[in-house]
Amino acid sequence: MQKILVVGSINMDLSFECKRLPNLGETIISNNYKKYCGGKGANQAVALARLESDVTMIGVVGDDNYGHELCSNLKFNQVKTTGIRFSKEVSSGLASIIVDETGNNQIVVYPGANYELLVPDIDKLEALIVETDYVVCQLEIPIVTVEYVLQKAKQLGKTTILNCAPARELTKKILEYCDFLIPNETELQVITNTHYPLINETELITATQKLSKQGVKNIIVTLGAKGVLYANAEQTQFLKAFSVKAIDSTAAGDSFIGGFVTSLANGKTIVDSLEFANKVAAITVTRRGAQISLPYLYEVENYRFSS
């Protein structure tokens, strides 16, 4: 079985259900509040594990109640936690999430211990990169660490996947080290420095072509309910999303990464893997919360989508 290593963030999410998202300077009342295990890195690791991939995680949490709960939850979900360190200095990462009635959200992240994941940690854990087949990163840890991990992974001949969330500008080197770059529309605008008010199909394709010219091998733009755009130097292809009633989009992008990489690691083609990832993400938005909303393989295989 192919091995997958996730290097990224682990957060405790404080999630507020509201009728709508607040306007600038406005206070609104939430009708429900829940605490969920989250963090883009940890969500992706759990998504992979629930889809029966062999997954190990590298990350840092605080040596506090949240940190221990987050790590136990990863173990409970069959994620190997040998790469997780407890920081005595900084508390665990936190996210404040507001979810509206249609499932849209606004997220603020306090990185905390996630920003303590630095190059010396990666050097100490190099064996985990040596023994893996795929390396998956996001952008909730220091960017120098992301660049270092991707560089090491490429030097060791691994397949690299970068989910560019949250949106940050990327170095030329990071772009070159990525086999698969996976932004959403907003993140694509930031990476390519194309600040369109609203990105349409032609603009999307132009932006992906810009990245191809900069050496990115495969670009996958997630478009929410509109589906996904896959582009490389030779071709571009749109794939439709599965239609569901969304109640909470938290971790939808993370579940997509989990589905895509699981399928790729199982030897499926890129397009088949995108189709599978779309299914996983569609199921995720029908449930509340981050890791708790991620589907198991049997659920994806048996889910009946309306046509």
Q: Residues interacting with ligand RIB, by CB under 6 A?
A: 9, 11, 13, 38-40, 43, 95, 107, 109, 140, 250-251, 253-254, 290
Of 13, 179, 248, 254, the active-site residue reads 254
Smallest CA-to-CA distance from 216 within 202, 233, 230 is with 233
What the block records as the tokens of 7 is 């290097």
Note if 254 is an active site residue. yes
158 or 223: CB nearest ligand RIB: 223
Rank residues 82 and 106 by Cβ distance to ligand RIB and give the closer one: 106
Question: Cβ closer to ligand RIB: 109 or 149?
Answer: 109
Least CB distance to ligand RIB at residue 262 (A) = 17
Q: How far is the CB of 118 from ligand RIB (least distance, A)?
A: 19
**Least CB distance to ligand RIB at residue 117 (A):** 14
Whole-number minimum distance, CB 236 to ligand RIB, in Å?
26
Q: What is the DSSP string of 254-289?
A: HHHHHHHHHHHHTT--HHHHHHHHHHHHHHHTTS-S
Query: Between the CA atoms of 255, 259, 261 and 262, what dihedral angle is there, to the nearest 10 degrees?
Result: 130
To the nearest whole angstrom, how small is the minimum distance from the Cβ of residue 1 to ligand RIB? 26
Helical ranges in 88-133 per DSSP H: 119-124, 126-130
In the bound state with ligand RIB, the residue whose beta carbon lies nearer, of 66 and 276, is 66
- Strand ranges of the sheet holding 93-99, from the earlier edge strand across to the other edge: 32-38, 11-17, 93-99, 105-110
Q: How many residues does the chain have?
A: 307
Buried b (16+ CB within 10 A) or exposed e, 182-209: bbbbebbbbbbeeeeeebeeebbeebbe
> Whose Cβ is closer to ligand RIB: residue 11's or residue 81's?
11
Catalytic residues: 254
